[in-house]
Structure 1
Amino acid sequence: MLSNFQQKIIETKETKINVVKSGTGFPLLLLHGYPQNHLMWHKIAPDLAKDFTVVATDLRGYGDSSKPQGDLDHRYYSKRIMAQDQVEVMSQLGYSEFYLVGHDRGARVAHRLTLDYPEKVKKLALLDIIPTYELYQTSDREFASSYYHWFFLIQPYPLPETLIGANPEYFLQACLQSWSRDFAAFTPEVLAEYIRCFNNPATIHATCEDYRAAATIDLIDDELDLNQKIQCPVLVLWGNQGIIGRKYDVLSIWRQRAVNVIGKGIECGHFLAEENPDQTYLEIREFLLNYNASNFDL
């Protein structure tokens, strides 16, 4: 799946992060979403490694990274702490600056990382999200119906952990089927790895804590930074057949949060890098290699 990538575990101040790395060129950090791990990039990471030094990680709580027990204020899974993990990983690999691409939960970590460490991120790509604060402020029946898990996973421990733990494989596959438009996009080998990792009760708990943090401590952090705009160039991509693409004016929303934003919809559901890897790769590559405000029209 990522046979040419080297794998290692990097120990940060608070946890251990599973990392794979390959390629040459300017460093590029890839952050995955829920309920997956770094393998969500397997269709595009080898091609990206032809132009960049690609680093793909498992976020804390996911894949083969450590899974700290949650605390009362959910700080251990705040996007600020999860972003700090990734900065420490890149620092230990010798990278003080890098490009950053995130999907879903990884994009939310990437958003926070770019706000907290603006000197680190030279270009940012966000896949199929609008800001967490915006989603909670504008929540309605359509959003809650499509993203029901946002309200289920934040329920107090151990309710969602117990219910998901009764049949983790069923829940994971139901999520992938619900948010994608082509379940066949998830190859059997990668799907088996998603299932292996998600079958761990510690993963189920950690991922619930990720969402609990998003509904509590992350909102406090986000509200304090509402007037802080991302300064580096930003590419936003979304699936035209997903709720983000159908319901929201994605570019308009992100242009309130960043000074230099371009983007477009892609014909797929939520999982761009797996459902439409060719276009996702081309858009990311073109943005990272060739974008500047005067010559790029996406």
Structure 2
Amino acid sequence: MTRTISGFDYHRVPVADDVALHVAVGGTGTPIVLLHGFPQTHLMWRHVAADLAADHTVIVPDLRGYGASDKPADTGADTYSKRRMAADIVAAAAAFGHDRFALAGHDRGALVAFRAGLDHPDAVTHLACLDVLPTLDMWEALRGATAAVGFHLYLMAQPPGLPEQMICASADAFFAHFLDQWAKDPAAIPPPVRAAYLDACRDAVPSIVADYRASATVDIDHDRADRAAGAGLSMPVTVIQQNWGAALGFDAAALWSSWARDLDHRIVDVGHFMAEEDPETVATALRELVQR
């Protein structure tokens, strides 16, 4: 198995003065951009992207700081804010001639997609977020012993130095932990793909930590400002989640409804890596979304 999506062309796309993204593009038709999560790369969309390419132009980048995309050495919060990463995605789509596009993200990519929907409503026609809460809601929902499930959030929120040293000391074990614990069907991530993820993460520890640290600082500020201003997502939104909200004591649909005026919230019985564990369900949901 190669580390590319079969049938897709690969490009290096400048999106900022110091950043170019590694982007896979395939298919023809109305554009859909797919953003990966942690601890993955664009390869997590391999099944869904191939399916959607039958009737869409599918654009699948590695996020800033991940995979084969550039990793700015400045790991300040602004450099890896979701606002900055969302602007990268709008620029990447424009580079392929698409000023308007549907956008789907998983995990970290869903946070970027959420921010893109708020900051660039004229560009994002439809929005899908997989298995995540908006940043501000996530931090407010985690409390007490149940917050242990998000230990990595607290670790990577610490000031620069210690988190990077700790993770680098045992990078494969750290990142593999999430692949093992979050997958309901581990076979959905076969050994070559798993190796690709671990290789990519091992080479990107400072930027991955910076991405998470931004979510504990500047990203919260941006969400708070939008909440105070009454901002919301004006486009049709689909959210697909596991039922972990019930276990942690919050109503995920209600939290999302506070942001999205036109919301389709779905609970699915699959693991966290749903685009790999149940790509047919995800592809079907995305096709239904773009028809709304």
User: TM-score when scaled to structure 1?
Assistant: 0.92
- Answer yes or no: is 1:111 the counterpart of 2:127: no
Which residue is 1:25 aligned to? Answer: 29
Which residue is 2:192 aligned to? Answer: 189
Which residue is 1:55 aligned to? Answer: 59
Which residue is 1:210 aligned to? Answer: 211
Query: CA separation of 1:278/1:160 partners in 2, compared to 1, >3 Å: closer, same or farther?
Result: same
Tell me how far apart the structure 2 counterparts of residues 112 and 211 of structure 1 sit (CA, whole Å): 15
SS of alignment partner, residue 240 of structure 2: strand
Deviations 1:8-38 (A, max 9, x none): 1101223110100000110000001111110
Query: CA separation of 1:182/1:2 partners in 2, compared to 1, >3 Å: closer, same or farther?
Result: same
- Answer yes or no: is 1:131 the counterpart of 2:130: no
Amino acid at match of 1:213: A
User: TM-score when scaled to structure 2?
Assistant: 0.94
Query: CA separation of 1:287/1:140 partners in 2, compared to 1, >3 Å: closer, same or farther?
Result: same
Tell me how far apart the structure 2 counterparts of residues 91 and 261 of structure 1 sit (CA, whole Å): 26
Which residue is 1:76 aligned to? Answer: 79
Query: CA separation of 1:94/1:100 partners in 2, compared to 1, >3 Å: closer, same or farther?
Result: same
Deviations 1:55-75 (A, max 9, x none): 000000000000012344x11
Which residue is 2:265 aligned to? Answer: 263
Match of 2:253 among 251, 254, 263: 251
Amino acid at match of 1:130: L
For the 8 Å contact 1:32–1:38, the answer to whether it is kept is yes
Match of 1:170 among 143, 160, 173: 173
Amino acid at match of 1:44: V
Which residue is 1:36 aligned to? Answer: 40
SS of alignment partner, residue 79 of structure 2: helix
Tell me how far apart the structure 2 counterparts of residues 119 and 180 of structure 1 sit (CA, whole Å): 35
Segments of structure 1 that go 5 or more residues without pairing to the other structure are 292-298
Tell me how far apart the structure 2 counterparts of residues 174 and 137 of structure 1 sit (CA, whole Å): 25
* More deviation, 22-31/191-200: 191-200
For the 8 Å contact 2:164–2:209, the answer to whether it is kept is yes
For the 8 Å contact 2:110–2:129, the answer to whether it is kept is yes
Tell me how far apart the structure 1 counterparts of residues 150 and 245 of structure 2 sit (CA, whole Å): 10
Amino acid at match of 1:53: T
- Answer yes or no: is 1:145 the counterpart of 2:148: yes
Which residue is 1:274 aligned to? Answer: 276
For the 8 Å contact 1:238–1:245, the answer to whether it is kept is no
Alpha-carbon distance, 1:254 to partner: 1.0
Tell me how far apart the structure 1 counterparts of residues 289 and 34 of structure 2 sit (CA, whole Å): 15
CA-atom RMSD in angstroms: 1.4
Amino acid at match of 2:215: A
Q: How many residues align?
A: 285
For the 8 Å contact 1:239–1:271, the answer to whether it is kept is no
Tell me how far apart the structure 1 counterparts of residues 180 and 6 of structure 2 sit (CA, whole Å): 27
Alpha-carbon distance, 1:246 to partner: 3.8
